[in-house]
Amino acid sequence: MSSVQSIPSGLSSPVVEAAVAQAVDALRGRRIAVLTGAGVSTDSGIPDYRGEGAPVRTPMTFQQFLSSADYRKRYWAGSHLGWKTFVAAGPNAGHRAIAQLESAGIAGGVITQNVDGLHLQAGSQRVVDLHGSLDRVRCLTCGQYYARDAVAERLAAANPWLETPEAIELSPDGDVQIADVASFVTPDCSVCGGILKPDVVFFGEFVPREKFDEASALMHRADALLVAGSSLVVNSGIRLLEQAHRRRLPVVIVNRGPTKGDARAAVKIDAGTSETLVALAERLRT
């Protein structure tokens, strides 16, 4: 494996171009598995948790959500306020570049830690959403699934007093902070009356085994790993990186700021994901 080349952000374009060229050399002729994190969606208006300049966030844990109705009120009120803004986001050039790599037969698919569904909107066909998708809601008792838009309509009807402010501070998971939730009416399952939860992995919750197995299968068929917009702090991401490392696959990481996988990367490019992915896709497709 070649030595790591870390390119600090803010340097001249020719330096980043040199790193892109090195990444192309590492990836060309190989079938690529793509792993993405929140940094891929920042150019779509969805913030990340750990990127440069990101505010400190304390997301609700799965244990808190289950522990009391008050926590569920707080979550659903904030999630409901953020939903319209979150769902209005569209794919950016980075999402489209990844889809182009797949359509060209260069990438075997994308594994994402994001819950925004933007890879599918961009045209990616094989998407493993490790942490679920915010557009689905599931009953924790009977397993019934609901479309998020349908639940949002129920929430709006039950809470007409809750209006979306003109400017909200959206979180990476689509929710916002709201102080007074005492009178908020949370949704319940229309089948069994059970607790409803967006079909996403909360902090403190495990990635479903079948999802991780699907991601591992995609990794098994790959000859290289391209990580984009992830600090690799979350356990699911670092486990996939370990699979690549054990098989001595070349790893290219594109992320602003350090990641937990930098020491194992053939190339680390500290730059924006959208422009870098576009450059990689253009070169790898020629």
- Using the predicted structure, report yes or no on whether residue 177 has a pLDDT greater than 70: no
Q: Which domains does the chain have, with CATH numbers?
A: 6-284 (3.40.50.1220)
The predicted structure's pLDDT at residue 285: 95
Q: How many CB atoms lie within 10 A of CB 5?
A: 16
Active site (catalytic) residues: 131
The predicted structure's pLDDT at residue 164: 56
Report helix, strand or coil for 217.
Answer: helix
Q: Contact 226/32 with Cβ under 8 angstroms?
A: yes
Angle at 236 between CA 131 and CA 178, to 5 degrees: 45
pLDDT tens per residue across span 204-225: 899 999 999 999 999 999 999 9
Place of tokens 């896709």: 281
CA dist 190 and 177 (Å) reads 27
- Using the predicted structure, report yes or no on whether residue 8 has a pLDDT greater than 50: no
Strands (DSSP E) along the chain, which ranges? 6-7, 32-36, 107-112, 127-129, 132-139, 145-147, 196-200, 224-228, 251-254, 267-269
Report helix, strand or coil for 224.
Answer: strand
Mean pLDDT of the chain: 88
pLDDT tens per residue across span 18-52: 999 999 999 999 999 999 999 999 999 998 755 45
